[in-house]
Amino acid sequence: MKKIMISTVVASVILGGCSQLDPYLDKIPFLSNADHNGSETTNENDNGKNDEEVNNEESAETSTNPAEKDSNNPVLEAAFFNDIEVVDDMNVIQNPKNVMALVNKQFSLPSDYIPNDLVRPNVAFSFGDEDIEKSYLRKEAADALKEMFEGAKAASIDLFAVSGYRSYDRQETVFNAEVTRVGEEKAVQVVAIPGSSEHQTGLSMDISSSSVNYGLTEEFEKVPEGKWLAENAHKYGFVLRYPKGKESITGYQFEPWHFRFVGKEAATVMFDKDWTLEEYFDIVEKI
């Protein structure tokens, strides 16, 4: 089993071409400019200075990446970035308890990861009071969901939770069933492969309403409940994780029902900037 330890500050882009991916590659430690240009030896210039000294002087006058010096960029503590170990050519997240974990087709959760703080949020479920796996969320996300549902209720909006936490094994079953139904090529566009589902984090909830018969459908975007969520979820720390028009970045089709908890501060930034979680990590500066 091949294992290589790395720390990542990266967001991923998939489905798009190379030009879509280029801005993100510079964020990957082993593909950064520093790694490409690094050398164990240095050459002397005519002025007696080595290349490293010359480069340092030039960089003091001109930044090669102006975005890094933009004081308006959001900042985030290092602990909230993915810590990755490459195992069998897969980027496996080593700090899965991180509430900001970037989980997608490039970054997977360990197959044995089960959050240790799962609780059943005190909200209405589409399946009633049945106590089943998908009715659970991590404590912080569950409390925020309850607050959001109460805020919706105050605005005469009735929401229903449909599907929250999903174990690795359950995701494997769901994925295999979709492959059987539509084939693998189409399945990977709508269902996450085991380990790459945000539902395994215990931080995501699929939400619906009676106006769409409690289903998970794109029609949810057009009804009052879906519109209210899209405009207000960030106030409670949730983001619409797979928005329309960002499919080439998230790697998934538009899902107006899938909301991910990231905390109020990050969610507000992403809402105001119209960023996905991938785009957020491409811009945010580590502190």
Chain Cα centroid distance, residue 69: 24
Q: Tokens at residue 198, please?
A: 């945000």
Q: Tokens at residue 24, please?
A: 């993100």
The C-alpha atoms of residue 97 and residue 90 are separated, in whole angstroms, by 19
Instruction: Please name which of 170, 131, 145, 99 lies closest in space to residue 259, comparing C-alpha atoms.
Output: 145
Q: Is 247 a catalytic residue?
A: no
The C-alpha atoms of residue 6 and residue 255 are separated, in whole angstroms, by 32
Residue with tokens 């985030």: 76
CA dist list (Å): 122 to 36, 160, 231, 271? 52, 11, 22, 26
Q: Helix, strand or coil for residue 265?
A: helix
- Stated as kind and residue range, the H or E segment containing 53 is helix 51-61
Q: Check 221, 255, 278, 279 and give the catalytic one.
A: 255
Q: Which contacts (CB < 8 Å, 24+ apart) does range 147-154 have?
A: 147/236, 148/232, 148/233, 148/235, 148/236, 148/238, 149/123, 149/124, 151/232, 151/235, 151/236, 152/225, 152/228, 152/229, 152/232
Instruction: Please name which of 226, 32, 248, 264 lies closest in space to residue 141, comparing C-alpha atoms.
Output: 264
Q: Which residues are catalytic?
A: 255
